[in-house]
Structure 1
Amino acid sequence: MLSRKAIQGRLSALLSNSRPRTYLAAFGILSAAAFALAVGVEFIQRGSFTNVFNWASANPSSFYLNVILDFFILLLIYCLLGSLMISVSVASLLLLVASLVSYYKIKLIGEPFMPWDILLKKEGMNIIPLVAQTSAYMRLGAVVLVSLACLAARLILPKLSLPLSHRALIGLFACFMLFSLSYKPALTGNLQARMGIQDINWNQSQNYELNGVTLAFAMNVKNAIVPKPEGYSQTRMEEIAADLIAKPEVEALAAVTSYPSGEKPNVIFVMNESFWDPTLLPGVTFSEDPLPTVHALQKTATAGYMLSPQFGGGTSNVEFEVLTGNSMSNLPSGSMPYQQYISRPTPSLAGFFGTQGYKSMAIHSYEGWFWNRNTVYKQLGFQSFMSKEFFTSPEYKGGFIADDEVSRAIISQVQQSEQPMFIYAVTMQNHGPYETWRYSGKPIKVEGNLTDAARDELETYVQGARDADASLKMLIDHYSASEEPTMIVFYGDHLPMLGYDYDVYRQAGFVSSGNSAEWSLEETKKMHSTPLVVWSNFGQEKKNVPLISSSFLGSYVLNELKMEMPPIFAFDYQLYGKLPGLLKGLVVDADQQLSASPPDSLLQDLQHYQELQYDTLFGKQYVQQLTGLDLIAAYPLSDFNSEFTDVRIETVEMYEADSEQLVLKIKGKNFFDGVYAIVNGVQLAPSNISSDTLEIQVPLELTNKKSSLTFQVRQINTKNIPLSESNVLEIPLDELTGPSSEERY
């Protein structure tokens, strides 16, 4: 049998006199290593080779692109280090550890490992100690096994070095390919798009699940880096701050101007999912008015249209603009700030109202993890977040929690609060797709030059819009009869997606083409304009708002409330007076004139806007410090959301017993749908839930040879991540009492 040195010697002899053989051997080893790495990285995510095979079979394009990316990573490291097997070892360690971190990051907080985790340095790496505390034997074993395989290959294979000049050229080519595949896809002819790859940037865990770790990570690179604006500096920020301080809007953080009752008003923003006025469709009629409340308020209250940066989706980007006063037009196309950029305390309406003696609360009738809201709302200064998980037995309509439930939650939270409230509520009922099964009856019938499929889809949408309008009426009716001063700001986040290629809009003649690139500026404006109503019960003057970008809406409301403004909102209000509509590719001036780009007279203002936004989101936050308006010093709050997540067990009572089980009632607080009881370490689903009582059935075998039972309540979301845990209560079996305790034995 040949020794290791003999094998290595023969291979060296075979390759030493033939450079083509050396190149072919290096190419073959790197290709095999790339394939093995793609499998290994996904094995860590998916837990078995069978699952990896099933994924690769179902998504061959994604798998091939993962292999290609791994190949060029290996090639680049090889060109840098010069030793083939050392390069394979280093690349394997980097990719497999990144995959391991991503796997446990998903398990622990529901989000994968992404490029901005590296850019966040310490903050992004906080997940690593958590990974170290978990059991990861199989996946760590995979990393160790690959490392040992690389070491064994290094002992057998020759070094396979290439001349430095060749390595430099090949390394540049590898850099180009990695740059183009991750940052500038157009350089390789948009290869991902041509292969049918979908970048699911609104749901990163699904993105990684469908596309694979390496490819999904690479597709996120282009949005991870926001270049510093030319001219951004402390000196420039001092100039902008001085200009803002000179304006009366930001002389100080003054209290809200007094209102007739002497109280600060509640300020309630309701961003209604896909809310739009379908009666604007030409040639389409409805058997009754789907929006009677909004149409009535347009005649009596401040009303108009909000220019949204989105169409058909991307709700969180609209939130981002409204809450922070920043603009998507200053960020890379495809950006999702909630996923990518809100990683530190960031000035927002929520934080500002908190400084004014308000309680700031977000309400959303869907999962709290969606769009990363659980994390983002902390950084924006909210005190609490009532997501779907904290609704108790809500009514559902059309497959989602009903809009009426959100209105009830708003009214209930305001009634419970001793402080005036700032509420940012986001509904979900009228989210697409608008399939016919969603409503059993559709009282509003649609007529027009539409296909049956288009008519059915529009009728489903109209039913949801009608319910949204009714939910607004519930709020208006309640606060019209209330002596508590209240302002309600109601608007849609974006227009609904009604069919592929804007099918319903095209058939109705609302737009001329299924290709948005062919729309006129007027059509683009229409497809991004949602109804806006600003109503109050304290005698607010009616105003007409022809159009206002969502990034300027916060400043508009602060001005209506006669409140002093933080820097970004003060700047917004100044810019709104000159340029009320601002999107990429569409600007609307104060005279409602449309153009594809801003006039030269406003270029400096927009440059300052971009610099101020960069300073707020990514820079040193000079303006916050220079104006003395440090709104972010107090948050995120250490007790964020404690009013919902502070779960307590107070007592446990026997309800009944038989020969197989004990039926117990756990009394306490903050019990919501999705909670489980942990009894002696065993998770049990409750048979009945109310806000203060859980009824559970405990199998008698859990009590065998036990003198006591331990109880804990835990709430878990749909990603199987704990939202809250109660205290642990231990009760001796002979002390369990209740209405039927005598039946226990």
Structure 2
Amino acid sequence: MLNLSKNRTISSVTRKFGLKQAIPITALLAVIPILLVLGAETIQRGSFEETWDWALNQPSLFWLNALLYLCALTLVYCVIGSLVPSVAIAALLFGLMSLISFFKTKLIGEPFFPWDILLNKEGLNIAPLITGQAAMLRIGTVLGVVVLLFALRLVVPRLALPWLPRIALGSLSVIALYAFGINAAWAENMQYKAGASEILWNQQQNYGHNGLTLAFTMNVKHSIVAKPPGYGEQAMADIAHAITEKRTASASAAPTVATDAGADTVKPNVIFIMNEAFWDPTLLPDVFFHDDPIPTVRKLQAESVSGYLLSPQFGGGTSNVEFEVLTGQSMSFLPSGSVPYQQYVKKPVPSLASYFEHLGYKSLAVHSYEGWFWDRENAYRQLGFESFMSSENFAEPELKGPFIADAEVSRQIIKQVDESERPMFIYAVTMQNHGPYDDKRYGDAAMDIEGDLTDEALDILQTYAIGARDADQSLQQLIDHFEQSGEPTVIVMYGDHLPMLGYSYDVYNQGGLIRTDRSENWTLEELKHMRSVPFVMWANFELPADDVPAISASFLGSYVMDTLGLEKPAPFAVNWDVYSEIPGLLRNLVVDTEQNLYNSPPDYVQEELDRYRMLQYDLLFGKKYAADYIDADYLNKPVHPDYNREFQKPAA
């Protein structure tokens, strides 16, 4: 009787807590993470062969990724309460994650970062770029697997856990994922023993070596920018003192140009034009253009100020180039793949806009696309602009393809300058030549191009080159106007990044600019080619001619200030000191004054770089200690009180 009673009790407990399901649940939780790793890595890497090689050569990292998948799957399971739907949801999440990383890498050379989740509507703009049978097959395979998993619930038992084990397992999963995200000591030790290596300067290598999920998780901690060693009020006081000592008494308070009469001086308009994906396609060594697509730029390269701007981006991320030019700050000191406009520019940040406003200018941002993109509406406000003219403010604009024409942007710039009683600082961003370039947007228009290119590559290059020609003509349109008007004006035009010409740098590879479509295998010279966009500077008054072989986007503002004889405020003064030592500064490419190339900064410039990094941290994340010692009015300048009033729609 006693044994019978005991057996009944055990049976009751078994039914109550579902212990009979423990074996299949445990088996599935052990096997499914392995399948998820293999599936996600195959999508991310592009082939099962590469995934298998990685698993064999890095077994510890393979199992560490499987552990992360297990934690994530267990967390979903504990929330949902049914195993099969939980597996389907996990497969969907990790499938999307790997697809995004694959396509993002193919398009712009960067994998999927934690902060990409914040892109919201911007992320949808990748959709038109994903075309072709192979892409649809990948997407269809992922969706098919997910649908099949959901369908399995019709024939597979619920395999549920009671609440108490669910709470316990869910809590353990959250703790484990959090520990890996913040790099807790025990998680860091586990990564070290597994052979993990965080390669921040080359995120493709980082994801390739460590695996998609581990690399993604390791990047989470970089969402918060660490305080530089030695940062504090005294350090900022020392930097301010050094800037003050270097300033010369002859620096002008504002740019002035003598009038024809010679008796008065006026402030010139300063116009920056960042032309979407503007580049010189004739630089492809194995391609020949019968007609030069950019004759205006070519003439300025021979006669005026010109050179090559080193962009922190390739194929996308326009706002990051804006951020560098406008603030003088460097993306090299921020997490790889971050977007300052959306993540960090949440309070007033000193910029070229607030600087020229301080000199009595009217500052205007112009972008021929929607104002919400990259959160420009808010970012331009925080950067001190007086007004922002987005595509919504263009009345019946001329279109070229799906976007507002570059010529229309030039017309709006002319209109704004002609109607303003004050000199203008304009920062304009165009959109016409945005990719993809396989849409034949210009109809039968063509350029005579020769080269050993596939038909698809030739079509892409044709479309891009026509857009580059239009961009060049829009610059000439501005030059013609201001030559005739005589109103002192200086124009700086450049591209934000090289265009994305096909998957895996296809046109660049076929055209001979690079030897391989694997960017992690590029030489430093090839990397420089793939980050260099032309810039030119024109004025209807005399400027000293100059040839600049390499200059980072973050140094362009101080370069223009120096050319115009302006006194540089603190951020631009510090980065000008760095420019004097290393004119090119990217995350994984440094160019010195002799055009020697390095993959990291040489020791002799480290002190200047530390000052640069520290001041950037102070202004973007810190206490703004520098404003207590130098340029207080500029560094503390609030947002414009009437920001964008002229373009606000009247209330209904």
Q: TM-score, normalised by structure 1?
A: 0.63
Aligned counterparts of 1:491 and 1:577: Cα–Cα separation in 2 = 21
Q: Kindly indicate whether the alpha-carbon contact (under 8 Å) linking 1:353 and 1:360 is maintained by their aligned counterparts in 2.
A: yes
Does 430-439 or 486-495 show the bigger shift? 430-439
Q: Which of 345, 348, 368 in structure 1 is aligned with 2:348?
A: 345
Name the structure 2 match of 1:361. Answer: 364
Name the structure 2 match of 1:81. Answer: none
Does 559-568 or 456-465 show the bigger shift? 559-568
Name the structure 1 match of 2:233. Answer: 234
Q: Kindly indicate whether the alpha-carbon contact (under 8 Å) linking 2:309 and 2:535 is maintained by their aligned counterparts in 1.
A: yes
Name the structure 2 match of 1:490. Answer: 493
Aligned counterparts of 1:38 and 1:424: Cα–Cα separation in 2 = 50
Q: Kindly indicate whether the alpha-carbon contact (under 8 Å) linking 2:268 and 2:489 is maintained by their aligned counterparts in 1.
A: yes
Aligned counterparts of 1:111 and 1:523: Cα–Cα separation in 2 = 29
Is 1:61 matched up with 2:94?
Answer: yes
Q: How big is the shift at 1:56?
A: 5.4
Q: How big is the shift at 1:287?
A: 2.8
Name the structure 2 match of 1:49. Answer: none
Q: Which of 311, 321, 325 in structure 2 is aligned with 1:322?
A: 325
Q: Which of 507, 513, 518 in structure 2 is aligned with 1:515?
A: 518
Aligned counterparts of 1:381 and 1:22: Cα–Cα separation in 2 = 62
Is 1:310 matched up with 2:352?
Answer: no
Deviations 1:440-466 (A, max 9, x none): 122312111111111111111000000
Name the structure 2 match of 1:262. Answer: 265
Is 1:34 matched up with 2:76?
Answer: yes
Q: Which of 581, 584, 604 in structure 2 is aligned with 1:581?
A: 584
Q: Which has the higher helix share?
A: 2
Please state whether the residue corresponding to 1:438 is helix, strand or coil: coil
Q: How big is the shift at 1:366?
A: 0.7
Name the structure 2 match of 1:406. Answer: 409
Paired residues, number: 521
Q: Which of 288, 292, 301 in structure 2 is aligned with 1:289?
A: 292
Q: Kindly indicate whether the alpha-carbon contact (under 8 Å) linking 1:244 and 1:250 is maintained by their aligned counterparts in 2.
A: no
Please state whether the residue corresponding to 2:481 is helix, strand or coil: helix
Aligned counterparts of 1:499 and 1:619: Cα–Cα separation in 2 = 41
Q: How big is the shift at 1:630?
A: 3.0
Judging changes above 3 Å, is the alpha-carbon distance between structure 1 residues 186 and 444 closer, same or farther for their aligned structure 2 residues? farther
Name the structure 2 match of 1:388. Answer: 391
Name the structure 2 match of 1:224. Answer: 223
Q: Kindly indicate whether the alpha-carbon contact (under 8 Å) linking 2:393 and 2:647 is maintained by their aligned counterparts in 1.
A: yes
Please state whether the residue corresponding to 1:285 is helix, strand or coil: strand
Judging changes above 3 Å, is the alpha-carbon distance between structure 1 residues 272 and 39 closer, same or farther for their aligned structure 2 residues? farther
Name the structure 2 match of 1:461. Answer: 464
Q: How big is the shift at 1:231?
A: 1.2
Is 1:539 matched up with 2:581?
Answer: no
Q: How big is the shift at 1:482?
A: 1.6
Aligned counterparts of 2:347 and 2:444: Cα–Cα separation in 1 = 47
Deviations 1:121-156 (A, max 9, x none): xxxxxxxxxxxxxxxxxxxxxxxxxxxxxxxxxxx9
Name the structure 1 match of 2:568. Answer: 565
Q: How big is the shift at 1:167?
A: 12
Q: How big is the shift at 1:251?
A: 9.6
Name the structure 2 match of 1:500. Answer: 503
Judging changes above 3 Å, is the alpha-carbon distance between structure 1 residues 607 and 24 closer, same or farther for their aligned structure 2 residues? farther
Aligned counterparts of 1:301 and 1:469: Cα–Cα separation in 2 = 16
Judging changes above 3 Å, is the alpha-carbon distance between structure 1 residues 158 and 258 closer, same or farther for their aligned structure 2 residues? closer
Match runs of 1:22-171 below 5 Å: 34-35=76-77, 37=79, 59=92, 61=94
Deviations 1:536-574 (A, max 9, x none): 111112111111110000000011111111101011112
Deviations 1:158-217 (A, max 9, x none): 79998xxx9999886454355579x99988999xxxxxxx9xxxxxxxxxxxxxxxx9x9
Judging changes above 3 Å, is the alpha-carbon distance between structure 1 residues 403 and 249 closer, same or farther for their aligned structure 2 residues? farther
Please state whether the residue corresponding to 2:486 is helix, strand or coil: coil
Q: How big is the shift at 1:398?
A: 2.4
Aligned counterparts of 2:375 and 2:335: Cα–Cα separation in 1 = 19
Q: How big is the shift at 1:524?
A: 0.9
Q: How big is the shift at 1:618?
A: 0.5
Judging changes above 3 Å, is the alpha-carbon distance between structure 1 residues 64 and 278 closer, same or farther for their aligned structure 2 residues? closer
Q: Which of 462, 470, 484 in structure 1 is aligned with 2:473?
A: 470
Judging changes above 3 Å, is the alpha-carbon distance between structure 1 residues 11 and 606 closer, same or farther for their aligned structure 2 residues? farther
Q: Kindly indicate whether the alpha-carbon contact (under 8 Å) linking 2:574 and 2:611 is maintained by their aligned counterparts in 1.
A: no
Please state whether the residue corresponding to 1:361 is helix, strand or coil: strand
Aligned counterparts of 1:476 and 1:361: Cα–Cα separation in 2 = 19
Name the structure 1 match of 2:434. Answer: 431
Q: Which has the higher strand share?
A: 1
Deviations 1:326-362 (A, max 9, x none): 1111111111111211111001000111110000110
Q: Kindly indicate whether the alpha-carbon contact (under 8 Å) linking 2:440 and 2:459 is maintained by their aligned counterparts in 1.
A: no
Judging changes above 3 Å, is the alpha-carbon distance between structure 1 residues 606 and 392 closer, same or farther for their aligned structure 2 residues? same
Letter of the structure 2 residue corresponding to residue 350 of structure 1? A
Judging changes above 3 Å, is the alpha-carbon distance between structure 1 residues 242 and 284 closer, same or farther for their aligned structure 2 residues? same
Is 1:593 matched up with 2:596?
Answer: yes
Larger Rg: 1
Q: How big is the shift at 1:18?
A: 11
Aligned counterparts of 1:494 and 1:31: Cα–Cα separation in 2 = 39
Name the structure 2 match of 1:740. Answer: none
Letter of the structure 2 residue corresponding to residue 274 of structure 1? A
Aligned counterparts of 2:175 and 2:74: Cα–Cα separation in 1 = 22
Q: Kindly indicate whether the alpha-carbon contact (under 8 Å) linking 1:301 and 1:543 is maintained by their aligned counterparts in 2.
A: yes
Name the structure 2 match of 1:443. Answer: 446
Aligned counterparts of 1:436 and 1:39: Cα–Cα separation in 2 = 47
Letter of the structure 2 residue corresponding to residue 276 of structure 1? W
The structure whose RCO (Cα within 8 Å, separation 6+) is larger is: 2
Judging changes above 3 Å, is the alpha-carbon distance between structure 1 residues 302 and 12 closer, same or farther for their aligned structure 2 residues? farther
Judging changes above 3 Å, is the alpha-carbon distance between structure 1 residues 639 and 508 closer, same or farther for their aligned structure 2 residues? same
Q: How big is the shift at 1:22?
A: 13
Aligned counterparts of 1:564 and 1:365: Cα–Cα separation in 2 = 32
Judging changes above 3 Å, is the alpha-carbon distance between structure 1 residues 480 and 177 closer, same or farther for their aligned structure 2 residues? same
Q: How big is the shift at 1:57?
A: 10
Aligned counterparts of 2:496 and 2:10: Cα–Cα separation in 1 = 65
Letter of the structure 1 residue corresponding to residue 628 of structure 2? Q
Q: Kindly indicate whether the alpha-carbon contact (under 8 Å) linking 1:325 and 1:551 is maintained by their aligned counterparts in 2.
A: yes
Structure 1 unpaired stretches of 5+? 1-9, 41-51, 66-101, 113-155, 191-197, 199-214, 648-725, 728-745
Q: How big is the shift at 1:62?
A: 5.2
Q: Which of 603, 607, 611 in structure 2 is aligned with 1:604?
A: 607
Q: How big is the shift at 1:63?
A: 8.1
Aligned counterparts of 1:495 and 1:64: Cα–Cα separation in 2 = 26
Q: Kindly indicate whether the alpha-carbon contact (under 8 Å) linking 1:301 and 1:542 is maintained by their aligned counterparts in 2.
A: yes
Q: How big is the shift at 1:254?
A: 2.3
Aligned counterparts of 1:363 and 1:351: Cα–Cα separation in 2 = 16
Aligned counterparts of 1:393 and 1:440: Cα–Cα separation in 2 = 22
Aligned counterparts of 2:459 and 2:16: Cα–Cα separation in 1 = 73
Judging changes above 3 Å, is the alpha-carbon distance between structure 1 residues 20 and 630 closer, same or farther for their aligned structure 2 residues? farther
Does 461-470 or 250-259 show the bigger shift? 250-259
Deviations 1:649-703 (A, max 9, x none): xxxxxxxxxxxxxxxxxxxxxxxxxxxxxxxxxxxxxxxxxxxxxxxxxxxxxxx
Q: Which of 628, 634, 642 in structure 2 is aligned with 1:639?
A: 642
Letter of the structure 2 residue corresponding to residue 330 of structure 1? F
Aligned counterparts of 2:567 and 2:311: Cα–Cα separation in 1 = 25
Please state whether the residue corresponding to 1:547 is helix, strand or coil: strand
Q: Kindly indicate whether the alpha-carbon contact (under 8 Å) linking 1:253 and 1:629 is maintained by their aligned counterparts in 2.
A: no
